[in-house]
Structure 1
Amino acid sequence: MTNSSPDFAQAITELVSIRDFFRWAASEFVAAKLFYGHGTDNPWDEAEQLVLHALHLNPPLADEWLDARLTRAEKERVVANIQRRIEERIPAAYITGQAWFAGMPFVVDERVLVPRSPIAELIEKQFAPWLSAEPQQILDLCTGSGCIGIACAYAFPDAEVQLSDISFDALAVAEENIHQHDLADRVFALQSDLFESLLGQRFDLIVSNPPYVDADDMASLPQEYHAEPELGLASGVDGLDFTRRLLAEAADHLTENGVLVVEVGNSWPALEEAYPGLSFTWVEFERGGHGVFVLNAADLRSARKHGLI
């Protein structure tokens, strides 16, 4: 926190327009030394998200709206959002109850990680050039809010999508999002520890954003990340506990030409060191992000045959 706390009552009394509250909130966020990384990367965008949510408006806002005057009730809602963000140090998405992924809104709360995976860019490109045909069966493993699998359902309108997670709490959020997007006819949520409840099932595409934060990174994460469920972040000393299991079992759940796409973030050097015989294809993103690899079924089966996984 700062040496001088924000005067929230003064803001309600003296500030007038949407522009005023954008500027004030951004300034207070800088002073409070907040950390960004849950959908925004700077104080202005964070301020915009929280101010507009309180006003029941969606960004981006046209310039002619910026000087609109707020009622006292609107000011109080805006300030309440800003105050929570500063004092509780929680991601803005937990305050608004909503996050955007692949251009779509998703319900989120403290039961799931805030969507932010660069895999969104791959989904928008329909995983080109790695898929040889449109997938009919897709698995979103460690689904959390369901955002990756649901976005895949939009990208491939003929596909059936399975959303899997070990957490019943996360799956309850995923179910909300399935119904919000009106996809209950072909997107399904299932509780499973890795492939435990998926025995005998094979998929043309398995996408996973599993826990991959190593012990050192977990210890040094900003406070905002500790508001998220640790189950969705931590994965042992080197961040690879879950990914090791995934690599060992994925081949049995891919079709002949199936593709595996996994995000391991900052743990990618540890993964390459642990599996020197595997030829990971690391995705390069236009909009930023790293640590996402692609492997096909043939590579995984060959690696297992030769004792590499």
Structure 2
Amino acid sequence: MTLTVAQLITETCQGLQTVDAPRLEAQLLVAQALGRDRAWLYAHGEDPAPEDVIQQVRQWALRRSAGEPAAYLLGRREFWSLDLKVGPEVLIPRPDTEILVETALSHLDEDSNASILDLGTGSGAIALALATERPKARITATDRSPLALGVAADNARHLGLDTRIQWLDGSWYDPLGDTRFDMIVSNPPYVAEADPHLGQLGHEPREALVSGADGLDDLRQIVAGAPDHLLAGGWLLVEHGADQGGAVRALFQAAGLSQVATLKDLAARDRVTLGCRG
């Protein structure tokens, strides 16, 4: 018997009881398979679901119930109200990272033509959000993964921002020579190698998550190199783990940065540290 759209959503929801919002995710999967938005589902619940759609949704539901992130199944994730392409090549943008964007924007006038560097750009989420909010800013983004840079460039083209950002292939500051910037932002890997939560993140690229025994290896490189790539009065802002605020502030201070502070996320956990080159 052919299922209606509403019945397919109900069946899918029943198979996703281990996820946080099963009905929402069921709707998203069905809408994606149909090439429609969620609003369309409400008006067409009694329409018959095509057989190929039913089979596709059932396959996705099995993968999702096995732990594969919905963003990878859908091939997209919203960040800063931007519709971003994502895949296994890149880390899925998190809402916590919007704290980093908000903090950066608070240090940039609306008509600022500041030069901004995004280190380890991944999907391009941070660079694209800043480009959207500060249309005169000059933005450079680096990543050591050519596949990630391809995803970021695709997102820029989709958003009409492809002429606004320079994408450079290389690890951290390697592709930059002696270029200096008004601001450096980064959401680098910061998970410790033995962190027990890594088991829940097995579908995401390990190199975008893990950074040595204490999770600080990449942050050490970024902070230590910042003074040589910041203009006088320029700011460094980094995202880090909830238990790393003190250690990251110490790195900033050792690098000679001033006005060092750590900001908390919506759950009142340390999330972003910033400092200024005098």
Q: Please classify the TM superposition score into its range, dividing by the shorter chain length.
A: 0.7 to 0.9
Query: In structure 2, which of residues 146, 160, 173 is the aligned counterpart of residue 168 of structure 1?
Result: 146
Kept after mapping to 1: 8 A contact 2:4/2:49: yes
Structure 1 counterpart of 2:15 = 28
Matched residue SS, 1:222: helix
Alpha-carbon distance, 1:198 to partner: 0.9
Deviates more, 1:251-260 or 1:231-240: 251-260
Output the CA distance in 1 between the equivalents of 2:101 and 2:39.
23
Matched residue SS, 1:189: strand
Matched residue SS, 1:292: strand
1:148 aligns with 2:126: yes
Deviation readout 1:255-283 (Å, 9 max, x if unpaired): 22222221112342462585595764222
Partner AA of 1:57 in structure 2 = R
Q: When the two structures are superposed, what TM-score results if normalisation uses the length of structure 2?
A: 0.85
Aligned length: 273
Q: When the two structures are superposed, what TM-score results if normalisation uses the length of structure 1?
A: 0.78
Indicate how the Cα distance of structure 1 residues 47 and 294 shifts in structure 2: closer, same or farther if over 3 A, else same.
farther
Matched residue SS, 2:43: helix
Alpha-carbon distance, 1:292 to partner: 1.5
Output the CA distance in 2 between the equivalents of 1:290 and 1:68.
48
Output the CA distance in 2 between the equivalents of 1:163 and 1:273.
24
Indicate how the Cα distance of structure 1 residues 90 and 178 shifts in structure 2: closer, same or farther if over 3 A, else same.
same
- Unmatched runs of 5 consecutive residues or more in structure 2: none
1:108 aligns with 2:86: yes
Output the CA distance in 2 between the equivalents of 1:157 and 1:273.
31
Partner AA of 2:14 in structure 1 = S
Indicate how the Cα distance of structure 1 residues 59 and 100 shifts in structure 2: closer, same or farther if over 3 A, else same.
farther
Indicate how the Cα distance of structure 1 residues 244 and 202 shifts in structure 2: closer, same or farther if over 3 A, else same.
same
Output the CA distance in 1 between the equivalents of 2:202 and 2:172.
24
Structure 2 counterpart of 1:221 = 198
Partner AA of 1:49 in structure 2 = L
Structure 1 counterpart of 2:272 = 292
Structure 2 counterpart of 1:159 = 137
Kept after mapping to 1: 8 A contact 2:245/2:262: no
Query: What are the residue-to-residue correspondences of 1:178-197 with 2, within 5 Å?
Result: 178-197=156-175
Output the CA distance in 2 between the equivalents of 1:72 and 1:294.
53
Query: What are the residue-to-residue correspondences of 1:1-309 with 2, within 5 Å?
Result: 13=1, 15-18=3-6, 20-30=7-17, 33-34=18-19, 41-59=20-38, 63-87=42-66, 89-123=67-101, 127-128=105-106, 130-131=107-108, 134-217=112-195, 219-223=196-200, 225-269=201-245, 271-272=247-248, 275=251, 280-286=260-266, 290-298=270-278
Matched residue SS, 1:293: strand
Deviation readout 1:203-223 (Å, 9 max, x if unpaired): 222111100001231x44234
Indicate how the Cα distance of structure 1 residues 135 and 46 shifts in structure 2: closer, same or farther if over 3 A, else same.
farther
Output the CA distance in 1 between the equivalents of 2:150 and 2:268.
30
Deviates more, 1:287-296 or 1:165-174: 287-296
Matched residue SS, 2:190: coil
Output the CA distance in 2 between the equivalents of 1:186 and 1:220.
36
- Unmatched runs of 5 consecutive residues or more in structure 1: 1-12, 35-40, 299-309
Kept after mapping to 2: 8 A contact 1:126/1:155: no
Kept after mapping to 2: 8 A contact 1:113/1:144: yes
Structure 2 counterpart of 1:304 = none
- The structure carrying a bigger strand percent of its residues is 2
Partner AA of 2:53 in structure 1 = E
